[in-house]
Amino acid sequence: MYGGFVMSKDKDPAELFREWVNQWERAVDSFSNQLMGTDEFSRAMNTMQNSQLQFQKVFGELMAQHLANLNMPSRRDVQHLAEVIHDLDTRLSRMEVKLDRLSAASGGASATRPGPKRTRKPPSATSPANKKKD
């Protein structure tokens, strides 16, 4: 026996090692899942998270106040600008779709790119309409 491994005549030591890793992983995961699957764990985890969020909120408000005192744009101001740009981006995107539609409807050049033929048939001649699998 070497460090917990039984030297077998039948098995490769590397294979034994792999099996041991698999067993260890299963054992740790199973134990952790049992522990973390309890109400107590969920309560503790969420309590800790709420404390962190509370700290983050207070710190954010203080920082915003400091930036305002320094006459600097706050995160909220930058965020507002980003929202304006995002809104423009969305509108442009909608206009693009509408223009493409109009172009396609009027037979414009950009209607469809040339590409491979779309006539391929499946190897089996079975009609899917007749197939019902449940």
**Which residues lie near another protein (CB under 8 A)?**
9-10, 12-14, 17-18, 21-22, 24-25, 28-29, 32-33, 36-39, 42-43, 45-47, 49-50, 53, 56-57, 60, 75, 79, 82-83, 85-86, 89-90, 93-94, 97, 100-101, 104, 111-113, 115-124, 126-128, 131-134
Distances (CA, A) of 121 to 74, 118, 128, 133: 59, 9, 12, 21
Closer by beta carbon to another protein, 38 or else 65: 38
CB of 34 to another protein, least distance (A): 10
Closer by beta carbon to another protein, 68 or else 104: 104
Residues present in the chain in total = 134
DSSP state of 106: T
Residue 100 and residue 111 in contact, taking contact as beta carbons nearer than 8 Å = no
Which token pair is 14? 């590397």
